[in-house]
């Protein structure tokens, strides 16, 4: 029997495609690798999430043919083990581009205009009337945006920034002539982005090369009025160095949807006013999560039918 094990409850649209050959864990919290290996034993496919650490223990389950992650990122999966063990890995790229770019832009505006801080201020009963000096932030229109990692999401943030008349610099491993033409974007070094951009938005995947790409040296080069936004993966930013920079007001603010040790968040961040913290909700719109679930399920079905999956990693 070809059957599918799902490591977390997913939207109904994805389940419906796999019904009836599907088992969904009943655990309300992410499973450990040991629990996944135990519960998934005997299944031909696993549909997992970015919260599941998938290594050799899971990938070597007898009869396992496909691991479909309901995420664009694949840093939680040991891809060299999957290649060695002959397990096809698939992901869900593309469908979360707009949702994640929207959230990056929401963080840019929320940090620049101090929205959560202003909301807390008002709810605390501290609003005593309009005040010329009250809660001033940074103007975004016409400012310089640095995109670190100009893949689909980074490019979409740049496109959205054109509505705000922003100038775009980008860092990418390969030149992107079409993107440059469409967004009047200019390729720049990491140093130039750090030193000259008013907003830096991080969009690189997490790899050994990008771990702590935004480190103490990068933050030290940023302008005191600058904003850092990270909707990619937490470890791309050195969280301890960021706490220092924010605490000493060496940069204006940061907006984070991802953290180094998710779901843990540095205690230092929690006590600061100049950082906006979100619980990894970049792709969390109904439309996007439905699409992610159906894409992951379609990848599983293709492999089980002996066809090439639409989104192999």
* Residues carrying an active site annotation: 233, 262, 280
Q: Which residues bind ligand DGY (CB under 6 A)?
A: 50, 71-73, 96, 282-283
- Of 144, 137, 175, 179, nearest in space to 161 by CA: 144
Find the shortest distance in angstroms from Cβ 128 to ligand DGY: 40
Is 54 or 96 the residue whose CB approaches ligand DGY more closely? 96
Positive/negative CA dihedral, 264, 53, 228, 100: negative
Q: What interhelical angle do 115-123 and 97-112 show, nearest 10? A: 60
Distance in angstroms (rounded) separating the CA atoms of residues 109 and 107: 5
Which tokens is 52 given? 């599941």
Is 235 or 282 the residue whose CB approaches ligand DGY more closely? 282
Is 3 or 285 the residue whose CB approaches ligand DGY more closely? 285
Find the shortest distance in angstroms from Cβ 310 to ligand DGY: 16
Find the shortest distance in angstroms from Cβ 94 to ligand DGY: 11
Tell the residue number behind the tokens 């009025």, with chain if given.
Answer: 225
Distance in angstroms (rounded) separating the CA atoms of residues 47 and 182: 37
Distance in angstroms (rounded) separating the CA atoms of residues 304 and 40: 16
- Of 106, 127, 46, 86, nearest in space to 229 by CA: 106
Find the shortest distance in angstroms from Cβ 283 to ligand DGY: 3
Contact 76, 53 (CB under 8 A): yes
């Amino acid at each position: 029997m070809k059957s599918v094990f799902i490591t977390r409850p997913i939207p109904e649209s994805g389940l419906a495609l796999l019904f009836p050959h599907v088992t969904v864990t009943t655990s309300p919290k992410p499973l450990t690798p040991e629990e996944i290996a135990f519960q998934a034993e005997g299944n031909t496919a696993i549909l997992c999430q970015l919260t599941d650490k998938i290594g050799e223990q899971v990938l070597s389950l007898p009869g396992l043919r496909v691991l479909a992650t309901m995420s664009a990122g694949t840093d939680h999966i040991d891809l060299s083990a999957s290649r060695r063990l002959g397990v096809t890995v698939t992901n869900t790229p593309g469908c979360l581009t707009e949702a994640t770019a929207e959230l990056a832009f929401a963080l840019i505006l929320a940090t620049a205009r101090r929205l959560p801080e202003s909301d807390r201020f008002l709810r605390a009963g501290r609003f005593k009337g309009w005040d010329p000096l009250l809660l001033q932030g940074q103007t975004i229109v016409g400012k310089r945006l640095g995109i670190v990692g100009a893949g689909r999401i980074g490019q979409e943030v740049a496109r959205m920034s054109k509505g705000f008349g922003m100038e775009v610099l980008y860092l990418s491993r390969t030149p992107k002539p079409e993107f440059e033409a469409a967004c009047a974007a200019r390729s720049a070094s990491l140093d130039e982005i750090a030193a000259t951009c008013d907003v830096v938005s991080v969009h690189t995947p997490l790899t050994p090369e990008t771990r702590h790409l935004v480190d103490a040296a990068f933050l030290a080069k940023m302008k005191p009025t600058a904003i850092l936004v990270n909707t990619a993966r937490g470890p791309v930013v050195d969280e301890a160095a960021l706490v220092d920079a924010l605490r000493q007001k060496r940069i204006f603010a940061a907006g984070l949807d991802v953290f180094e040790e998710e779901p843990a968040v540095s205690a230092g961040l929690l006590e600061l006013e100049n950082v906006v913290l979100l619980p990894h909700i970049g792709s969390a719109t109904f439309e996007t999560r439905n699409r992610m679930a159906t894409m992951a399920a379609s990848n599983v079905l293709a492999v089980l039918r002996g066809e090439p999956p639409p989104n192999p990693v």
